[in-house]
Structure 1
């Protein structure tokens, strides 16, 4: 079983620079709350990093373009999915639920409750 986190952002250096600028200039309109919760402006938040590194689950992090290319699926982003060995997905936390979260602690609690 693997947990896949899909950001509502595209991969690549230019997109990363644009995302950083957007977070600085207009954070209230930035469209990836998963990014906002797990990352500051330039780096991963320590509490999230600690959780991620200590997880018993295989965690995979993809940008939406990477997810769509690899799995040939389009979804609403951001999203957190659980997949089995056949790459069949079950949505653990959807876009609407992610957008209501305010902190790393809320995300971790929601994840732990969803996985049980």
Structure 2
């Protein structure tokens, strides 16, 4: 899962961290792919189900991320734990990293309520417009 990077707007660099509740690595990704294909309703990572199809990342999700006015980095659970061990938030989740601060944009409880990709993108768009109301977690 490669990071999609765009320059943030304004002088202060912010990065949107989209964190999947799945581990990195080819074999783990293959296992997740098979699990999603065989039994998608029991797949642990709801965000994976919303943003990935049978052939990889959804073209609509990729286009949406590239259209944001903020840099974006996609991370797996194990990558998040290495980079930001103090976060301790249930995954999947979306954060904004601004300087040393890590702010929660959307938690697992909100993501799981999204019925489809369009709802996820609408919610994320709304949340990004209301950045000043976010909870700092690190």
TM-score, structure 1 as length reference: 0.93
Aligned to 2:59: 46
Unaligned runs of 5+ in 1: none
TM-score, structure 2 as length reference: 0.79
CA distances 1:57-101 after superposition (whole Å, capped 9, x unpaired) = 111110010010111233211000111111x21111100110111
Where has structure 1 moved over 6 Å in runs of 4 or more? none
Q: Return the structure number with greater relative CO, CA threshold 8 A, min gap 6.
A: 1
Q: Which has the larger radius of gyration?
A: 2
Aligned to 2:16: 3
- State the number of aligned residues: 115
Please provide the CA RMSD for this pair: 1.0
Aligned to 1:95: 108
Distance 1:77 1:42 in 2: 23
Aligned to 1:75: 89
Unaligned runs of 5+ in 2: 1-13, 130-138
